[in-house]
């Protein structure tokens, strides 16, 4: 992820900046993973991380293309499912 070396991933401001300026789901996925890692390194509980992710997901839930990034990062770290991002999108034919 090209972040110019300043992205630490530990604050919501960091991740909001990356997601708001991204058009790539892989970049968003990596940013969310880095955010979770930063929270874990600080010793935050799973509940705390879940709540923080939820606040961020609310900001970006209208961008359906990024939903897999949120789901994948949560699954990777075994954080419970989002209250804001659907598990999957079923489209009518």
Nearest CA among 22, 11, 13 for reference residue 1? 22
pLDDT at residue 29, rounded to an integer: 96
pLDDT in tens, the chain (93 residues): 444 455 566 788 989 999 999 999 999 999 999 999 999 999 999 999 999 999 999 999 999 999 999 999 999 999 999 999 987 654 554
pTM of the model: 0.83
Backbone angles phi, psi at 6, to 5 degrees: -95, -15
Distance from C-alpha of 34 to C-alpha of 39, rounded to nearest angstrom: 9
Token reading at 15:
């991740």
> H helices of 1-93, where?
12-20, 25-41, 46-60, 67-76
Domain ranges of the chain: 1-93
């Amino acid at each position: 992820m090209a972040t110019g070396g300043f992205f630490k991933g530990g604050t919501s401001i960091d991740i909001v900046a990356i997601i708001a300026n991204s058009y790539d789901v892989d970049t968003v996925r990596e940013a969310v993973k880095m955010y979770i890692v930063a929270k874990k390194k600080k010793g935050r509980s799973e509940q705390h991380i879940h709540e923080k992710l939820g606040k961020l997901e609310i900001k970006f839930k209208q961008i359906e293309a990024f939903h897999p990034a949120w789901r994948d990062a949560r699954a990777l770290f075994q954080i419970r499912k989002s209250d804001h991002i659907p598990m999957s999108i079923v489209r009518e034919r």
